[in-house]
Amino acid sequence: MVRQIRTIDLFSGAGGLAKGFAMARCGFKTVFAVEIDPDAAMTFKHNFRCKVHVGSITTVPEYPEADVIIGGPPCQGFSRLGRDRSDESRAQINELWQEYIEAVRRVRPKAFVIENVPEFQRSPQFERLLELMDTDEDFSAYAYNYGVLNAADYGVPQNRRRGIFIAVRDVAEVAWPPPPTHGPRSMHETPYRTVRDAIGKLPSIPMGIELEEDRVPQNLHLGRNLTQLSIERFKAIPPGGNRFDLRRNRPDLEPKCWANKPSGTNDVMGRLLWDRPSVTIRTEFYKPEKGRYLHPDQHRPITHREAARLQSFPDNFYFVGNKPSIARQIGNAVPPLLGKALAKFVLEIAFARPDDSAITSSDRSFVVQPGEERDQLVDRRVRHLTVVGPVGKRVVGDETVVPFVDPVTVGVGVLPHVGC
Ligand SMILES: C[S@@+](CC[C@H](N)C(=O)[O-])C[C@H]1O[C@@H](n2cnc3c(N)ncnc32)[C@H](O)[C@@H]1O
């Protein structure tokens, strides 16, 4: 059995980031989560079966022991989209990162990961975080690094830029960035995943409108009751087009409030492009007036299933709540595939054995799950599995023990060409 790397998820949301850590199959196991939104908390509980504190982080009585803390303090306070909030509400949200830091102080994990909007890294709060990391005794043993990553570089069929901060205790340095797996900067220049890759095989007509509770598997390929006027507007927008095509082709249908706005973003009422990653999926992706959320060639906005896929959620991830609540959970999430890349990066820096001469800096350490078959390894693009331990058992990092079931198909490898 793989010994777990116990993980706490703060501001967990539905669990996109946690799902990525689980998908990395490196032993990360969420043992405790904190989430104020009851629907998101129930979603998290359903998918991860761990203890969830449903309430504000300010009311957590105590934290369990853990090896890693991950989480994204809410970002409306920093993001451009949150500027319509009152100063007081923004100030309160802006200070929630300190609760995260308090949790780190109490748990003292081997590593922690903070995810936020890129703007956070340009805020006075971030300056305070860096000052704390450099001057506070509790944090002096942590090396850290940070930057803005695009989810598309990690196999997500979506351009989504996130500010990521990673700190690891008792290591010399945290290199940067985590190596991209897709796009021009990836080792094999693997093409970006596209909208077509993600949703091209879904039925073009949604499978109903209302969410059916208890339906298994969950059907999120749900449309909306569109008015004839909306449909006529969408018909006036060609592939790749946007609201300016509506103005050109059917000025009689242009909403009056847009008539006075001759310029502005090209994304409003835009169509997604089949052969590129999508735009950032936000919480109201089902409203085409909010962004480039029209289907590439159908006269409708994208469905919840399409949005979840563009976020790289697997179809068997179950969401609790009504349609707007699920949309919020999907739009707020860290794309699981970005989380997966972060998990592998943290594993390598924080939990790989530094004294293992077989592991060179260009190799990636890799845990093969007990019972995993050769075919699954091929699926995971494992090309060269070098079993580096004695047949029977292998220690990874300080604690992770993988008993071998079969010396060929189960083990721990150093894999120079792990492309995922
Ligand atoms: C950006 S989302 C996190 C997304 C999550 N990491 C994921 O990948 O799915 C931030 C979350 O913080 C939650 N939140 C906001 N204020 C909170 C508080 N005071 N205590 C706990 N959770 C809070 C929100 O409900 C929201 O789900």
For ligand 1, the distance from its centroid to the CA atom of residue 266, given in whole angstroms, is 30
Task: Name the closest-CA residue to atom 3, ligand 1.
Answer: 13
Pocket test for ligand 1, best of 46, 332, 342 (most atoms within 8 A of CB): 332
For ligand 1, the distance from its centroid to the CA atom of residue 286, given in whole angstroms, is 21
Q: What does the block give as tokens for 198?
A: 């993600």
pLDDT in tens, 365-388: 444 444 444 444 434 433 334 343
Strands across the sheet containing 5-10: 51-54, 28-35, 5-10, 68-71, 111-116, 161-169, 142-150
Of 14-28, 345-359, 403-417, the one with minimum mean pLDDT is 403-417
Judge if 108 and 60 occupy the same domain.
Answer: yes
CA 237, CA 245: separation in Å to the nearest integer? 6
Contacts with 173 (C-beta within 8 Å, 6 or more apart), sequence order: 143, 145
Q: How many residues does the chain have?
A: 420
For ligand 1, the distance from its centroid to the CA atom of residue 45, given in whole angstroms, is 14
The residue that leads in pLDDT, 316 or 402, is: 316
* The model scores a pTM over 0.75: yes
Give a yes or no: residue 30 inside a domain.
yes
Q: Is the CB of 34 under 6 A from ligand 1?
A: yes
Q: Is the CB of 16 under 6 A from ligand 1?
A: yes
Q: What does the block give as tokens for 260?
A: 């006075």
Q: Is the CB of 74 under 6 A from ligand 1?
A: yes
Judge if 157 and 181 occupy the same domain.
Answer: yes
Calculate the CA dihedral of residues 30, 36, 42, 46 and round it to 10 degrees.
-10
- The closest alpha carbon to 33, from 74, 69, 75, belongs to 69
Q: Is the CB of 35 under 6 A from ligand 1?
A: yes
Judge if 343 and 407 occupy the same domain.
Answer: no
The CATH number assigned to the domain holding 12 equals 3.40.50.150
Domain range for residue 396? 358-415
Give a yes or no: residue 120 inside a domain.
yes
Q: Is the CB of 333 under 6 A from ligand 1?
A: yes
Judge if 340 and 405 occupy the same domain.
Answer: no
Of 201-205, 351-355, 396-400, the one with minimum mean pLDDT is 396-400
Give a yes or no: residue 255 inside a domain.
no
- Residue 271's pLDDT is 98
Q: Which atom of ligand 1 is nearest to the CA of 40?
A: 27
Mean pLDDT of the region 326-338: 98
Q: Tell me: pLDDT of 302 over 80.
A: yes
Q: What percent of the chain clears pLDDT 70, i.e. is strictly above it?
A: 78
Identified catalytic residue from 26, 50, 75, 257: 75
For the chain, the domain total comes to 2
Q: Is the CB of 68 under 6 A from ligand 1?
A: no
> In 10 A of CB 133, how many CB atoms?
18
Of 292, 319, 349, which one is at a domain's C-terminal end? 349
Judge if 106 and 145 occupy the same domain.
Answer: yes
Give a yes or no: residue 180 inside a domain.
yes
Judge if 374 and 406 occupy the same domain.
Answer: yes
Task: Name the closest-CA residue to atom 7, ligand 1.
Answer: 333
Of 35-44, 214-223, 393-402, the one with minimum mean pLDDT is 393-402
- Residue 121's pLDDT is 95
CA 420, CA 65: separation in Å to the nearest integer? 30
The residue that leads in pLDDT, 4 or 250, is: 250
Residue with tokens 């944090």: 139
Q: Tell me: pLDDT of 88 over 90.
A: no
Three-state SS for the chain is CCCCEEEEEECCCCCHHHHHHHHCCCCEEEEEEEECCHHHHHHHHHHHCCEEEECCHHHCCCCCCCCEEEECCCCCCCCHHHCCCCHHHHHHHHCHHHHHHHHHHHHCCCEEEEEECHHHHHCHHHHHHHHHHHHCHHHCCEEEEEEEEEHHHHCCCECCEEEEEEEEECCCCCCCCCCCCCCCCCCCCCCCCCHHHHHCCCCCCCCCCCCCCCCCCCCCCCCCCCCHHHHHHHHCCCCCCCHHHHHHHCHHHCCHHHHCCCCCCCCCCCECCCCCCECCCCCCCCCHHHCCCECCCCCCECCHHHHHHHCCCCCCCCCCCCHHHHHHHHHHCCCHHHHHHHHHHHHHHHHCCCCCCCCCCCCEEEECCCCCCHHHHHHCCCCCCCECCCCCEEEECCCEEEECCCCCCCCEEEECCCCC
pLDDT band at 91 (very low <50, low <70, confident <90, very high): low
Q: Is the CB of 36 under 6 A from ligand 1?
A: yes
For ligand 1, the distance from its centroid to the CA atom of residue 201, given in whole angstroms, is 32
Task: Name the closest-CA residue to atom 9, ligand 1.
Answer: 333
Judge if 341 and 391 occupy the same domain.
Answer: no
Give a yes or no: residue 214 inside a domain.
no
Judge if 75 and 117 occupy the same domain.
Answer: yes
Q: Identify the bridge partners of residue 28 per DSSP, sorted by sequence position.
A: 5
CA 238, CA 268: separation in Å to the nearest integer? 14
- Identify whether the C-beta of residue 388 lies closer than 8 Å to the C-beta of residue 412: yes
For ligand 1, the distance from its centroid to the CA atom of residue 72, given in whole angstroms, is 7
Judge if 340 and 411 occupy the same domain.
Answer: no
pLDDT band at 389 (very low <50, low <70, confident <90, very high): very low
Mean pLDDT of the region 344-349: 94
Judge if 345 and 365 occupy the same domain.
Answer: no
Q: Is the CB of 37 under 6 A from ligand 1?
A: yes
- The closest alpha carbon to 110, from 399, 340, 380, belongs to 399
For ligand 1, the distance from its centroid to the CA atom of residue 37, given in whole angstroms, is 7
Give a yes or no: residue 264 inside a domain.
no
- Residue 259's pLDDT is 72
Q: Which atom of ligand 1 is nearest to the CA of 71?
A: 6
Q: Is the CB of 335 under 6 A from ligand 1?
A: no
Give a yes or no: residue 300 inside a domain.
no
CA 280, CA 157: separation in Å to the nearest integer? 10
Task: Name the closest-CA residue to atom 19, ligand 1.
Answer: 56
- The closest alpha carbon to 283, from 10, 14, 8, belongs to 14
For ligand 1, the distance from its centroid to the CA atom of residue 15, given in whole angstroms, is 10
- The closest alpha carbon to 204, from 308, 268, 324, 300, belongs to 300
Of 349, 373, 395, which one is at a domain's C-terminal end? 349
The residue that leads in pLDDT, 249 or 263, is: 249
Q: Is the CB of 56 under 6 A from ligand 1?
A: yes
The residue that leads in pLDDT, 418 or 12, is: 12
For ligand 1, the distance from its centroid to the CA atom of residue 53, given in whole angstroms, is 12
Give a yes or no: residue 217 inside a domain.
no
Residue with tokens 């990836």: 186
- Backbone angles phi and psi of 327, in degrees to 5: -60, -40
Pocket test for ligand 1, best of 21, 28, 36, 57 (most atoms within 8 A of CB): 36
Q: Is the CB of 332 under 6 A from ligand 1?
A: yes
Mean pLDDT of the region 207-224: 93
Of 296, 320, 349, which one is at a domain's C-terminal end? 349
75 included as an active-site residue:
yes
